[in-house]
Chains A and B, each alone.
Chain A
Amino acid sequence: MIKVEKRSDVSRSIYFLTPVLAIFLTLFGGGIIFFILGFNPIEALKFFFITPISDLYGLSELLVKATPLCLIAIGLSFCFKSNNWNIGAEGQLIFGGIVGGGVALLFYNHDGFYVLPIIILSGAIGGMLFAMIPAILKTYFNTNEILVSLMLVYVAKLLLDYLVVGPWSNPEGFNFPETRQFSESARMPILFDGLRIHAGIFITLITVFLSWLILYKTYLGFQIKVSGLSLKTAKYAGFKGKTMIIIVFMISGACAGLAGVGEITGPIGQLHRNISPDYGFTAIIVAFLGRLNPIGIIFASLIVALTYLGAETAQIFLQVPKYTGQVFQGMILFFLLGSDYLLFFKIKFLGLKKNEL
């Protein structure tokens, strides 16, 4: 007979080591998949995980991808820690992009140091307002934030579609579904010539630091922690539950909005239909892989960013579809959840009892 029991205590170091285990299992699983597809697994994995970052350009690309992932995941950690399931970061990213992009288009023939900060700020506010929709519906009308935030993703996507095809499309763009190029002063400064890595990485790093400060050193962070562990206790302690739900959604939305505006003013430089390769959804995996911990999320974002790059290289060298990247992301989450189960529960093998024989 097999019996599953909850473990009474979970060692803290093992708690942070299981994500590493999950990554190794993912590599192993990926190897098997490549083997079945007829590739040499070691070679294939090398193409996937080593080749993309074996030169400076690759490393820069890694950081370009990790920047938005880390930023969104940090914001999501506020929601997830307090038991608010914001699944719509992708929508908040796009809406932040729309608002920031709109402002950038407004300034398309302006120059000045003030242009970029205004765009960034408006993008953050856009994401924040968009995230407040599920928060307010949840607090005042008891709706389920998972459904509302998820469905708003499609609202944002379709809105972006409409704008780049219709009113905002480039007057000189031969009806391509894209806006004008933003002006130079509306672009994130590039850090090194010839590489795409941009100043957005500093926004991410500052946000990580601020989040650590808020989560671990402030009353707000304490309230978030308690609410996440027990809503009954939060109520008993007199925390203002509704205000807190709205605040965590605002933080989370602002981060996603910043990520969106970072993309359009950074590598992209205009608005078009695909401003995000599902960063908002992938960041959910990043947040959990990083254990909702700011430092953990930095590492997790680098690893998940690598799956994006790896998929691109694999597509070129192995002729496998780039969706292999999503397979790897899925495997990471699968193995993480699997090892978490063993972390929190133990399985006991008991001998058969006499009366069962």
Chain B
Amino acid sequence: MNTKLKVSEISKIYPGCIANDKVSLEFGSGKIYALLGENGAGKSTLVKILSGVVKPDEGEVFLNDESIKLNSPLDAKKNNIGMVFQHFNLFETLSVFENLSIDIDKKDEELRALVNDILKKYNFKIDLDIPVLNLSAGQKQKVEIIRCLIRNPKVLIMDEPTSVLTEQETDDLFISLKQFSKDGILIIYITHKLKEVLSLCDEVAVMRKGKVVSVSNTIDEKIESLANKMVGENLNTIKKKINNFKKSEEILKISNLNFTSDDPYETNLNNLNLSLKKGECLGIAGISGNGQNELFQILSGEIITEGTSIMFRNKEIGKLNPKERREYLMAFSPEDRISQAAVPELKIYENVALNNFKSSNFFEKGLVNEKKIKEHSKKILSNFSVNTDNVELKSQFLSGGNLQKLIIGRELITSPELLVCFNPTWGLDVGAINYIHETLIQINEQGKSSILISTDNDELLKLSDRICVIYKGKLSKIMNADTVSAEKLGILMGGGSID
């Protein structure tokens, strides 16, 4: 039976962010569709709308040319739309069969027969009577898939399904998905992994900043072309003057850094090596979710890795927390400026006090020195042209650009030797972007170093002296920025190799 699914002009606006901006897409059964985009591109919002978890502000969903209302996950089930979320929704202590029988109106024997048929048909090997907690991630996912299959789905949506799977499990999953597709189930596959799109899917829709930017057949695409579509095509070639740092003093050296996370949704880092010279900007490119978050936290000291060597100005700092690292003149500007780098409910001067170090005297003998903090904050507001002089203002009333100026200002006013920043211009307007870029170039000119982790290639090519790419927790070779092209970055970001 043919299934046609169509979303028409779907919009969803959250305070301060347009998650979906007039998204229109059409899908038909027999094909596997990829929905590709970076974190925050709006793909998760779209599938939440399709599965009834989120209601769109505008737009309609059509199933076989009929408009359907998806007010709750129950409505999605009624319309035979199945969804396997990235995070599993299973009761760990119940058996597989109990998990399957929870929300279905069938007699136990009947259900067991049905499940056994499915197991046989798709060659799944799962013991139905053991508790879910004894299953591997791949098997748990199969349980979730079976849960959808027993409802005869017309549409099956998979949200980043491979993030917790091993290579072997991923291969198995792809075989099953292709089989489902042959059996007439329409499959929508959400991912930010380019290789998977090319090896599995027939059509690919790329989303960026809430909009669909391209729809094409995967045969016509390559890893680089998809990478460029994901991060933005207008790769500009304005570059900063490249200096030769061969003779400069080495300021940071990381050798053989490994990080294995307890959380299966985080990326492990493998054998990372890098070094940074005084006055240099090292750019780290990559599609988000490839270990940038973990790398930033290791640099800032939010994650302490045992036995790792991080030498900063000839001192071992691997075991120090962020506050202690600041004493050694490091500064950090995290990606999440709204809820991590600053607290929206706090006043500007209180947010400034977050970057507290001994010589600042913000807190003397454990007591707050409000006067000192306020003076210091005023200095930041005027030096970094933040659009207010009221240090009592809550930072939630600053625009994104002004907030980022405040944060960069807070981090830089201590004249740190190294600034680590992660997507510093994400979501800002052009004026603010230029200001931040100029500031970052300026600190290099003053002989201070910086590490720029960014998913914006344009920005990286403009600001970096050397560039490398992070892919699945591994760093590529570090290259001089003047020898790097957008195409090269694209290949490396998709997991390809260059010589």
Contact = CB atoms under 8 A, between A and B. Distances in A.
B340 A230 contact: yes
A236 B334 contact: yes
B339 A218 contact: no
Interface string B321-354: 1111110000010101001111101100010011
Contacts of A230: 339-340, 343
B71 to A, nearest CB: 12
A226 B368 CA distance: 14
Interface residues of B, number: 32
Nearest to A237: B354
A231 B346 CA distance: 14
Contacts of A354: none
Nearest to B326: A238
A8 interface: yes
A230 B340 CA distance: 7
B332 A232 contact: no
A229 B343 contact: yes
A293 to B, nearest CB: 15
A236 B343 contact: no
Given A218-B367, A233-B343, A236-B332, A6 B322 contact: no
Interface residues of A, number: 22
Contacts of A341: none
Contacts of B345: 229
A218 B341 contact: no
Nearest to A240: B321
A238 B322 contact: yes
Given A226-B343, A229-B345, A232-B336, A219 B367 contact: yes
B431 interface: no
A334 interface: no
Contact of A236 (B300, B366, B394): B300
Given A233-B339, A237-B323, A238-B321, A219 B366 contact: yes
A220 interface: yes
Contact of B368 (A222, A232, A238): A222
Contacts of B340: 230, 232-233, 236
Interface string A214-242: 00111111100110011011011111100
A230 B337 CA distance: 12
Interface in B4-49: 15
B363 interface: yes
Interface in A184-241: 216-222, 225-226, 229-230, 232-233, 235-240
Given A217-B367, A226-B354, A237 B342 contact: no
Contacts of B302: 235-236
A237 B15 contact: no
B86 interface: no
A236 B351 CA distance: 12
B355 A237 contact: yes
Nearest to B341: A236
Given A8-B15, A226-B354, A233-B342, A238 B367 contact: no
Contacts of A239: 323
B181 interface: no
Nearest to B296: A236
A217 B368 contact: yes
Interface string A83-106: 000000000000000000000000
B283 interface: no
A218 B368 contact: yes
Interface string B346-374: 10001001111000000100111000000
B363 A233 contact: no
Nearest to A355: B60
A217 B371 CA distance: 12
B342 A238 contact: no
B473 interface: no
Contacts of B354: 226, 233, 236-237
B301 interface: yes
A236 B321 CA distance: 9
B441 to A, nearest CB: 25
A237 B323 CA distance: 6
B363 A219 contact: yes
Contacts of A221: 368
Contacts of A216: 368
A222 B343 contact: no
Nearest to B321: A238
A229 B363 contact: no
A225 B345 CA distance: 10
Contacts of B332: 236
Contacts of B394: 9
Given A6-B15, A217-B368, A226-B346, A238 B323 contact: yes
17 contacts: A8-B15, A218-B363, A218-B366, A218-B367, A218-B368, A219-B356, A221-B368, A222-B350, A222-B363, A230-B343, A233-B340, A233-B343, A236-B302, A236-B332, A238-B321, A238-B322, A238-B326
Given A226-B343, A233-B354, A236-B334, 4 more contacts: A8-B396, A233-B339, A237-B356, A238-B322
Interface of B: 15, 300-302, 321-326, 332, 334, 336, 339-343, 345-346, 350, 353-356, 363, 366-368, 394, 396-397
